[in-house]
Structure 1
Amino acid sequence: MNRILFILLALVALALAILLFLPGLVPVSAFKGRIETQASNALGREVSFGDDLSFRIFPRTAFRVTDLVIANADGFSGDYLARVEEADIGVKLLPLLSDSVEIDRFVLTRPDIRLTRAQDGAVNWNLAQSETAPSETETSSAQRELKLGDVRIVDGAARYEDLSTGKSYVAEEIDMTVVLKSLTEPLEAKGEMQFQGAPATVDMVLTSLRAIMDQEPGNLKLDLKVGDAEIGADLAITTKDGVHYSGPASLSAPDLPAFAALAGTELAEAPGFDKLSVKGDIDGNDASLRLENASINFDEIAAQGAVMLNWAGARPKASGVLSTDKLDLRPYMPPPSTSAEGFPAWSEAKMDFASLNNIDADFDISTDAVYVNDLEFGESRIKLLVDAGRLTAEIPELSMYGGQGSGRVVVNARGATPSFAGNFDVGAVQAQPFSKDLMKHDNLLGLGSFKLNFAATGDSQAAIMRTIDGSGGFDLADGALKGVNIAGLVRAVGQFTEGFNPAALQRAVAEARGPSQQTDFSEFLSDFSITNGLVSAPTITLNGPYLSMSGQGTINLAEQKIDLRLSPKGTTVLEGQEGGRTVTVPVRIGGTFSKPTIGIDAESLARTGLQRTLENVLSNRNKKEDGEEGADATDEEADPARAIIEGIIGGKKKEPDQQQDGATEDSAATPEETLINEGLNAIFGKKKTAPKEETKEEEPQQ
């Protein structure tokens, strides 16, 4: 009995000795070539190991290899697809007896994986299978159950380069832990890295690895944080005929330029493009995705709808159909003026439209409101197209200040200097709120329509105003001009029967102006053209209950100056009263956008009156020449306008003895003063007064 027990103990000791010392006695390096050959045949690529190759059974079965290199595919630059500085693999022996592979330790130290997509779409990670059909043993081995224990990647690196788009991505300092209880159970991966130089964390669950290996549907749940951006997804995945995924996903990028740089797209420095958040159901592949039931927040714009994103080309392209409660374009416009009151000066600040080169777009957008600087538009529809830096906004439905219409705007930023063009045609617009937002005053009331066609170039507001060309017109009905009563002004001037009185005229103008005064009209219309920022209005027409008015003028957009000459015609009495006469009083509107002025056009008034008087003079001369009655020499000499003409053209002067009695040579006015005073009196109709009676005593000289 003792002898049998001794033999058993000896056998056990021998077995232990074999387990302990056999791996050291068997030269593993002798099998190195065979292992490399088998691995190369399995992967379809050359596989090589370093000379530091070891194998042990106790205390646990383990295989260690250094300098593991998998060669790159033919036609791709670079020495390898993957390189592992050290791989330490521990396998449990007993599960192998039941066709199960249970790896309790799998540690890859400083692996470096380099993935490349060629310009023709070929990839270097498409590993070929052995050309020979697998044997039953190999098939059986492939079906073995795989379980992972301590699986780690230590200080790894991965690089991806797409030669067709010129984009590349780099992940470094990868420290990852992987758990896989079986091929049919979830694969869990959690770790951290530096992605494109930014810290990143990954928490991923893939179910199941067996399904993915068999090109059957699986599921991926992903929580990824890169820099300040966060990505979440719960996707169904298939790998048959390429990678395809679908399911709910979300993106939050509070720093959009930084996130875009991480994604391989450099956004130009320009107003806007600050933040982005997206949530919805995605359906996509490795080159594009479609987002349904989308909720999108881009800067200050919140939208819902469907979006398609394709990043396979040189620039990403987004398209879709969206609706939003407001389309706020103010962040992309030049900053507003800080002027406390009045119309602000045009800004010389450079306008940067480089963001139009960031992405191509094709969107159909419906919105309840649009904000462009101080202008507010209502419910509208916009078809937005961005193509290589050129934006076209077709606006088939435009609501603004109670009116409806359509328009089109083109912004071309392809060249060194941006250019602009567009047209608008809108009707039933409420003039007061529109003029208040556009011109910073609310003095225009009425309901009407306007048309505008324009084209300009420039990289600032001021530059655009200096180069703008175009045409347009407006037609207002049943409105008023606040701040001035033109009809009252005409009546006041028409009452002057005692000659030219500047003080009285000034009082009349002051009384016709003021916050409580206004000029009512039934229609107010004009057409205009624009050349290099100068608006020319050859015809301005206004008709009201007490007057009619015509006029013309110019507006210098670049210098913000106004020069309008109007000729309102009204009666000297209110409607319904008897008597009175029709009077035309020239009015001039000048000043600037910030401080407009309005008053009597004295120059035109004097010119018009003088012209009429000259016509009378010429008429009297013609009558005399024709021998008509009433054209005697006495009338001609008594006419002061005639005296003005003779003073100008050198008519005959009176002799000293022809002077009026009681007027000495020292006290008489100069001929020029006499001519001017008599001419003005004639123009404004001063009544003649009887000559003074001669006094017996001679007045003392001054």
Structure 2
Amino acid sequence: MKKILFALLAIVLVAVIGIVALLALVDPNQFKPMIAEQVKKATGRELVMDGDISWRFFPSVGLDIGKTEFRNPAGFAEENLMRFDRAELSVSVLPLLSNQLEIGNVSLHGGRVFIQTLKSGKSNLDGLGQAKDESGSDTSAQDTAKDTANAPKQAWALSLEGIEIVDASAVIRDDKAGTLTQVDKLDFVLNRFAPGEWTAASFDVTGKNGELNFQAKGNTELMIAKAMDTAELKKLSLQAAVNDPKNDIRGFTLAMDQFKLGEWSAIEFAVEGQIPDLTFDAKGSTRLKMDPALTVVDVQALDMKADLKGAVLPRPEMKVALKTDATYQLKEQKATLSNLAADIDELSLTGKGSFKSANVPVIRIDLASDNIDLDAFLGTEKSAQEQAATPAEGGQKPQAPAAAKDKDAEPDLSALKTVDLAANVAIGKFKAANAKLSDVLLKLTIKNGVLNMSSLDAKLYQGSIHATAKLDANGKLPTYRVNKQIKGVQVHPLLMDVAQNDVLAGTGDISVNLSGTGLSESRIRQNVAGTLAINFSDGAIYGVNIPEMIREARATLKGKKADYVEEERKTDFSAMKATFKVGNGVASTDNIDVDSPLLRVDGKGSTNLMSEELNFLINTSLVATSKGQGGKDIDEVANLTVPIDVKGNWTEPKFGLNLAMLLKQNNELEKKAKKEVERGLEKLLGDKAKDEGVKDVADKLLKGLFN
């Protein structure tokens, strides 16, 4: 037993003597010039070690290194590319005998990295590892070859007990691009670095990029692997915040159960914050997988819900829910969505789509919805009549200059030049501007600043609509073209819903072919040109009773007042046709044709699109029958043409007899009848027809007829 104790004591004594000898005979600071020389040779840069290098023997052999700086070439904003205040490193001695390099905890305090790119494009990272020897040849390749030749035949096993970076900072400055990124503080801890083993890591970083401030911290467990495709990660937890003068992402959290190439990862996330005029709070979950070749990322069962508030929204507050599967192809930079289901308050959409990142992003959308009430969604359900009945605040009308300014304002169409879009939309029921459509099918594209609606088909008030349109935003002012075919539409409910106007009823066919320049209200009215053709059947014109006006005409011709008959103020028709030519702010027609069992109506006139004033003359002729609207009283003035003026404006048309034309017509008829009577008397009485007495009798008979 004593021998064993003496042996151990001897070993300890030898170790102590060795350490004392090492401290006494080997000063590590004497290696500083050699280290600096080797760094200079390898990098071409100066290494300045101002601090001392000292031995450390517990719990393992190691070194403490003081303040050290790695210089930049001349011409850069800071003297050092990299520096640190203090570093610690330890190595286990005995494992070295077995080709095992077991490094203890590596600790770096007060580290700083400065990377700069000058306006010329030169960087302080250029030339590292390419230093030249005295002959001017590149030594890096030679050194590599020598190292390879001298490499030990038996591979070394490497393990690192841990890495600790404390109070580090970094600056990445690009004068050519005008960007500046600063890491003000970085703390990083890696518990153990050993291939094939799990280790814990954590970090805490704060910094800024321009005006953008950021901070993030997190922790995870990771498997150190020799190849990236075998690396693993689990129990990831990340918290981050970002803000600048306009945006404030107050909180972003991400939790991932595990990550390994080719396997699914469960992810939960949440983000809240504020951008201009919008506050948001979103939470969600999904499953993610990346293929081993690092080419495709699959997202499955993405489920996100968000609460939104802000002035940019169509409503002050909105709730959005999104569910979808997705695939992202890294090489093509293309994301594809499938099984998409989106709920925006009461609006629900399903479909699929894709997005390809490019200078002009390529977007493809295929969406469907059972019911979209755009008026309810936008809060515009109140009818125009209700809005008109609501007095303006303070009892004052809006000021004219502000209204005029709004009418001249062109919409911003710059977005049409920033996207390549093709969309197909199907909607079961759709309501907009109080118009009700069903079975809506829409196809449109946007490319190179041109919006092309190749088709819009829908059912509309017991009829149908087919429309195409093109909008080109490439000129100084946008140009447009619209073609629309409406067939079999019930006009009265359509006008009531859209314009709160009940002036017309019937089954209508409408053909529209219009084009123009400028999309402000005033330019549309002034510059629109083309044709508008209408063909209505089995309807009525409300607000005017032409048979009643004919009775008034008959009474007027006789100098009497018409008897009052209580009838609805409308005029029935079996057909109504007209073609309007539009141009220079005016819509005009010369072929108004209205037929009914009682009436034959033709007319012409125009309406000013700027002032909305009406100026039409309608000539009404009677059918010689007592059947239909008006009864037998109308027979007394059969073959009489009644001229009617249509004045007023679009919302309040006014109808009235054109008395001047009516009286002129009456005088012409009387003259014509007098000539016919005189010709008949001459044939009947011969020379006696010229007798004054006979003429007086004939005149009295004619006056009785026309009065």
CA-atom RMSD in angstroms: 5.6
The worse-fitting range, judged by mean Cα deviation, of 19-28 and 477-486 is 19-28
**With CA pairs under 8 Å and 6+ residues apart, which has the higher RCO, 1 or 2?**
1
Partner SS state of residue 543, structure 2? strand
> Is the counterpart of residue 290 in structure 1 residue 335 in structure 2?
yes
Q: Unaligned 5+ residue runs, structure 1? A: 41-45, 72-76, 259-268, 642-677, 687-702
Aligned positions of 1:232-311 closer than 5 A: 235-237=288-290, 245-247=297-299, 280=324, 281-285=326-330, 288-293=333-338, 294=340, 303-311=349-357
Partner SS state of residue 388, structure 2? coil
The structure-2 alpha-carbon separation of the partners of 1:341 and 1:178, relative to structure 1 and needing over 3 Å to count, comes to same
Partner SS state of residue 522, structure 2? helix
Of residues 411, 434, 440, the one that matches 2:471 is 411
The structure-2 alpha-carbon separation of the partners of 1:217 and 1:138, relative to structure 1 and needing over 3 Å to count, comes to same
Partner SS state of residue 409, structure 2? coil
Q: Distance in 2 between matches of 1:636 and 1:564?
A: 45
The structure-2 alpha-carbon separation of the partners of 1:150 and 1:51, relative to structure 1 and needing over 3 Å to count, comes to closer
Q: Distance in 2 between matches of 1:517 and 1:142?
A: 105
1:351 Cα deviation after fit: 3.0
Equivalent residue number for residue 133 of structure 2: none
The structure-2 alpha-carbon separation of the partners of 1:469 and 1:684, relative to structure 1 and needing over 3 Å to count, comes to farther
Output one character per residue of 1:494-539: Cα deviation in whole Å (capped at 9) or x when no partner.
Answer: 65287134x649x68xx66xxx533333333322221122112222
1:599 Cα deviation after fit: 2.2
Equivalent residue number for residue 33 of structure 1: 37
Partner SS state of residue 588, structure 1? strand
Q: Distance in 2 between matches of 1:196 and 1:460?
A: 39
The structure-2 alpha-carbon separation of the partners of 1:497 and 1:538, relative to structure 1 and needing over 3 Å to count, comes to closer
Output one character per residue of 1:97-150: Cα deviation in whole Å (capped at 9) or x when no partner.
Answer: 54455554345744345799x99xxx9999999775957958987973456443
Of residues 143, 159, 182, the one that matches 1:172 is 182
Q: Distance in 2 between matches of 1:169 and 1:326?
A: 46
The worse-fitting range, judged by mean Cα deviation, of 211-220 and 472-481 is 211-220
Residue type matched to 1:384 in 2?
Answer: L
Partner SS state of residue 663, structure 2? helix
Q: Distance in 2 between matches of 1:419 and 1:350?
A: 15
1:615 Cα deviation after fit: 3.7
> Is the counterpart of residue 214 in structure 1 residue 228 in structure 2?
yes
Partner SS state of residue 585, structure 1? strand
1:284 Cα deviation after fit: 3.4
Of residues 455, 459, 462, the one that matches 2:522 is 462
Query: In the alignment, is the contact (CA less than 8 A) between 2:588 and 2:605 conserved in 1?
Result: yes
The worse-fitting range, judged by mean Cα deviation, of 170-179 and 124-133 is 124-133
Q: State the identity %.
A: 15
1:469 Cα deviation after fit: 0.4
Residue type matched to 2:572 in 1?
Answer: D
Equivalent residue number for residue 597 of structure 1: 654
1:6 Cα deviation after fit: 8.4
Equivalent residue number for residue 105 of structure 1: 107
Equivalent residue number for residue 420 of structure 2: 361
Query: In the alignment, is the contact (CA less than 8 A) between 2:224 and 2:231 conserved in 1?
Result: no
1:468 Cα deviation after fit: 0.6
Output one character per residue of 1:401-456: Cα deviation in whole Å (capped at 9) or x when no partner.
Answer: 44333222223222332222221112232323432354342333333222211112
Q: Unaligned 5+ residue runs, structure 2? A: 131-139, 254-268, 270-285, 391-397
Residue type matched to 2:469 in 1?
Answer: V
1:566 Cα deviation after fit: 2.0
Query: In the alignment, is the contact (CA less than 8 A) between 1:356 and 1:391 conserved in 2?
Result: no
1:350 Cα deviation after fit: 1.1
> Is the counterpart of residue 194 in structure 1 residue 239 in structure 2?
no
Of residues 599, 602, 605, the one that matches 1:547 is 599
Output one character per residue of 1:36-77: Cα deviation in whole Å (capped at 9) or x when no partner.
Answer: 555x5xxxxx77645557654437645567554799xxxxx9
Residue type matched to 2:164 in 1?
Answer: D
> Is the counterpart of residue 428 in structure 1 residue 488 in structure 2?
yes
- Count of aligned pairs between the two proteins: 604
Of residues 539, 564, 573, the one that matches 1:479 is 539
Aligned positions of 1:311-322 closer than 5 A: 311-313=357-359, 315-322=360-367
Query: In the alignment, is the contact (CA less than 8 A) between 1:88 and 1:107 conserved in 2?
Result: yes
> Is the counterpart of residue 341 in structure 1 residue 388 in structure 2?
yes
Equivalent residue number for residue 526 of structure 1: 578
Equivalent residue number for residue 588 of structure 1: 645
Higher strand share: 2
The structure-2 alpha-carbon separation of the partners of 1:32 and 1:125, relative to structure 1 and needing over 3 Å to count, comes to closer
Output one character per residue of 1:203-226: Cα deviation in whole Å (capped at 9) or x when no partner.
Answer: 677886756953568679777654
Query: In the alignment, is the contact (CA less than 8 A) between 1:484 and 1:519 conserved in 2?
Result: yes
Of residues 440, 444, 467, the one that matches 1:384 is 444
The structure-2 alpha-carbon separation of the partners of 1:593 and 1:200, relative to structure 1 and needing over 3 Å to count, comes to farther
Of residues 323, 343, 358, the one that matches 2:368 is 323
The worse-fitting range, judged by mean Cα deviation, of 294-303 and 573-582 is 294-303
The structure-2 alpha-carbon separation of the partners of 1:156 and 1:79, relative to structure 1 and needing over 3 Å to count, comes to closer
Q: Distance in 1 between matches of 2:291 and 2:77?
A: 31
Residue type matched to 1:611 in 2?
Answer: E
Q: Distance in 1 between matches of 2:38 and 2:163?
A: 28
Partner SS state of residue 462, structure 1? helix
Q: Distance in 2 between matches of 1:372 and 1:246?
A: 38
Aligned positions of 1:546-695 closer than 5 A: 546-570=598-622, 573-575=626-628, 580-581=634-635, 582=638, 583-616=640-673, 632=690, 634=692, 685-686=706-707
The structure-2 alpha-carbon separation of the partners of 1:309 and 1:489, relative to structure 1 and needing over 3 Å to count, comes to same
Aligned positions of 1:218-229 closer than 5 A: 226=242, 227-228=247-248
Residue type matched to 1:685 in 2?
Answer: F
TM-score with structure 2 setting the length: 0.67
Q: Distance in 1 between matches of 2:643 and 2:469?
A: 39
Q: Distance in 2 between matches of 1:407 and 1:596?
A: 29
1:151 Cα deviation after fit: 3.6
Query: In the alignment, is the contact (CA less than 8 A) between 2:108 and 2:165 conserved in 1?
Result: yes
The structure-2 alpha-carbon separation of the partners of 1:9 and 1:145, relative to structure 1 and needing over 3 Å to count, comes to closer
The worse-fitting range, judged by mean Cα deviation, of 474-483 and 557-566 is 474-483
Partner SS state of residue 536, structure 2? strand
The structure-2 alpha-carbon separation of the partners of 1:50 and 1:570, relative to structure 1 and needing over 3 Å to count, comes to farther
The structure-2 alpha-carbon separation of the partners of 1:203 and 1:474, relative to structure 1 and needing over 3 Å to count, comes to farther
1:639 Cα deviation after fit: 11
The worse-fitting range, judged by mean Cα deviation, of 387-396 and 274-283 is 274-283
1:290 Cα deviation after fit: 0.7
Partner SS state of residue 424, structure 1? strand
Equivalent residue number for residue 441 of structure 1: 501
Q: Distance in 2 between matches of 1:301 and 1:402?
A: 25
Equivalent residue number for residue 670 of structure 1: none
Residue type matched to 1:289 in 2?
Answer: K
The structure-2 alpha-carbon separation of the partners of 1:328 and 1:538, relative to structure 1 and needing over 3 Å to count, comes to same
Residue type matched to 1:435 in 2?
Answer: L
Partner SS state of residue 447, structure 1? strand
The structure-2 alpha-carbon separation of the partners of 1:200 and 1:53, relative to structure 1 and needing over 3 Å to count, comes to same
Query: In the alignment, is the contact (CA less than 8 A) between 1:356 and 1:388 conserved in 2?
Result: no
The structure-2 alpha-carbon separation of the partners of 1:590 and 1:193, relative to structure 1 and needing over 3 Å to count, comes to farther
The structure-2 alpha-carbon separation of the partners of 1:188 and 1:557, relative to structure 1 and needing over 3 Å to count, comes to farther
Q: Distance in 1 between matches of 2:540 and 2:127?
A: 77
1:466 Cα deviation after fit: 0.8
The structure-2 alpha-carbon separation of the partners of 1:99 and 1:463, relative to structure 1 and needing over 3 Å to count, comes to same
The structure-2 alpha-carbon separation of the partners of 1:455 and 1:33, relative to structure 1 and needing over 3 Å to count, comes to farther
The worse-fitting range, judged by mean Cα deviation, of 619-628 and 139-148 is 619-628
